[in-house]
């Protein structure tokens, strides 16, 4: 099991000031968001490399669809609270350099 790591990082705002951002789990908002990226990050990265822009709604819908299609027993679905996932954080994680420019 991976050790939880509380991290405080800084980022520049548009005004050039540093803004403190608290991340609670290995650099992510929470464990649920980290787990989705850990297990499905390669899949979503491939989607981006194929030229598709990832939106938070698409990522969330894809994860829910994957669970349904895999016929995952409800017991296992209860082991992760998908309602706690920060879908917007995942969306921003997969933004390409071209989309930022």
Unique residue bearing structure tokens 């706690």:
84
Residue 45 within any structural domain of the chain? yes
Query: Is 42 contained in some domain?
Result: yes
Give the pLDDT confidence score for residue 22 in this predicted structure: 56
The answer as to whether 39 is a domain residue is yes
Query: In the prediction, which pLDDT does 43 show?
Result: 96
Q: How many domains does the chain have?
A: 1
How far apart are the C-alpha atoms of 69 and 78, rounded to whole Å?
A: 16
Residue 24 lies in a domain: no
| 3-state SS string for the chain | CCCCCCEEEEEECCCCCEEEEEECECCECCHHHHHHHHHHHHHHHHHHHCCCCCCHHHHHHHHHHHHHHCCCCHHHHCCCCHHHCCHHHHHHHCCCHHHHC
Note whether residue 2 is domain-resident.
Answer: no
Residue predicted with more confidence, 52 or 3: 52
Residue 46 lies in a domain: yes
19 located within any domain: no
Residue 101: pLDDT band (50, 70, 90) is low
Q: Which domain does 46 fall in, by range?
A: 29-100
Structural domain includes residue 92 = yes
């Amino acid at each position: 099991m991976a050790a939880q790591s509380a991290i405080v990082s800084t980022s520049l705002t548009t005004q050039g000031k540093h803004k403190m951002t608290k991340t609670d789990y290995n650099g992510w908002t929470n464990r649920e968001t980290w787990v989705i990226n850990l297990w499905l990050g390669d899949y979503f990265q491939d989607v981006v490399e194929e030229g598709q822009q990832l939106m938070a709604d698409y990522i969330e819908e894809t994860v829910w669809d994957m669970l349904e299609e895999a016929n995952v027993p409800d017991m296992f679905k209860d082991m992760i609270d998908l309602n706690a996932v920060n879908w917007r954080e995942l969306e921003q994680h997969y933004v390409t350099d071209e989309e930022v420019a």
